[in-house]
Amino acid sequence: VRKEVLMKESILQALAWRYAAQVFDPTKKVSKADLGLILESARLAPSSIGIEAWKFIVVENPEIRMQLREAGYGQSKISDASHLIVLARRTDIRENIANERIERTALAQSKNGEELAGLRQMLEGGIARKDDETLAAWAAAQTYIPLGMMTVAASLLGVDNAPMEGFDNATVDAILGLSAQNLASVSMIALGYRSESDPYATLAKVRRPFEEVVHFVR
Ligand SMILES: Cc1cc2nc3c(=O)[nH]c(=O)nc-3n(C[C@H](O)[C@H](O)[C@H](O)COP(=O)(O)O)c2cc1C
């Protein structure tokens, strides 16, 4: 069997296998290598104009995870999963993001200010056109891309995952001291291994049919 065929089957299998895990086995830990790969998938996520206006906070402290669980309306996976990652958006986009993006690009691609003038104009224009509320929503929207990437990467590795927005953002920000770091929480993802007792593991997947969500304009 050709490698590409095996790859196609693995992707489909992994995506069908994944579900929003509810009950994690607290004794099973994700390896350092797998965690690193999942985080790398987030880091490599695309973003609008390459702003990468995000931070992925791996919360390892068990007491803090218990506090977060409370802020997450008691969702047990917040404390019981092997790992918990909070995805935050940057709140200092207007001040810092364009400069950082230019510096990063100059360094990675050995380009000077003149060569990056067009990019700078696009960044500054794009940011200036948005009011504060739109800017915040824009940054939050970007963080869902690495969230999605992590669900895929984890599932390909056979690591169960649970994306979450069901928590009180202000409380989570306070627990993690995010405001002082120019950050605001958007979502979380729990990673680990499903418990045998998770009743959701065996439920049939609920999805709209392909024909309903995909439309070809020919
Ligand atoms: C951004 C996002 C936030 C979510 N928040 C929660 C949550 O707080 N708690 C929860 O139990 N499930 C949460 N879910 C899981 C969804 O309910 C679930 O993905 C959806 O019903 C489809 O089911 P499946 O992922 O098991 O296929 C969230 C999913 C996404 C993508």
115 in contact with ligand 1, CB cutoff 6 A: no
Residue 49 neighbours by CB distance under 10 Å: 16
pLDDT (0 to 100) of residue 97: 97
Ramachandran region, residue 205 (left: φ > 0; alpha: ψ -120 to 50; beta: rest): beta
Cα–Cα distance measured from residue 121 to residue 140, given in angstroms and rounded to the nearest whole number: 22
CB 80 within 8 A of CB 184: no
148 in contact with ligand 1, CB cutoff 6 A: no
pLDDT (0 to 100) of residue 2: 87
Beta bridge partners of 54: 89
Distance between Cα 165 and ligand 1 center (Å) = 8
pLDDT (0 to 100) of residue 1: 77
CB 124 within 8 A of CB 98: yes
pLDDT (0 to 100) of residue 3: 86
User: Quick check: helix, strand or coil at residue 178?
Assistant: coil
pLDDT (0 to 100) of residue 6: 87
Distance between Cα 110 and ligand 1 center (Å) = 42
Look up the pTM and report it: 0.97
Strands 54-58, 160-164: pairing kind? unpaired
165 in contact with ligand 1, CB cutoff 6 A: yes
Residue with CA at minimum distance from ligand 1 atom 10 = 164
Q: Which of 90, 106, 75, 91 is nearest to 190 (CA)?
A: 75
Cα–Cα distance measured from residue 13 to residue 34, given in angstroms and rounded to the nearest whole number: 18
**Consecutive sets of 10 residues in the chain, 218 residues long: mean pLDDT of each?**
88 96 98 98 98 98 98 98 98 97 97 96 96 97 98 98 98 98 98 97 96 98
User: In sequence order, what are the residues at sequence separation of 6 or more whose Cβ sits closer than 8 angstroms to the Cβ of residue 147?
Assistant: 42, 87, 163, 187, 189
205 in contact with ligand 1, CB cutoff 6 A: yes
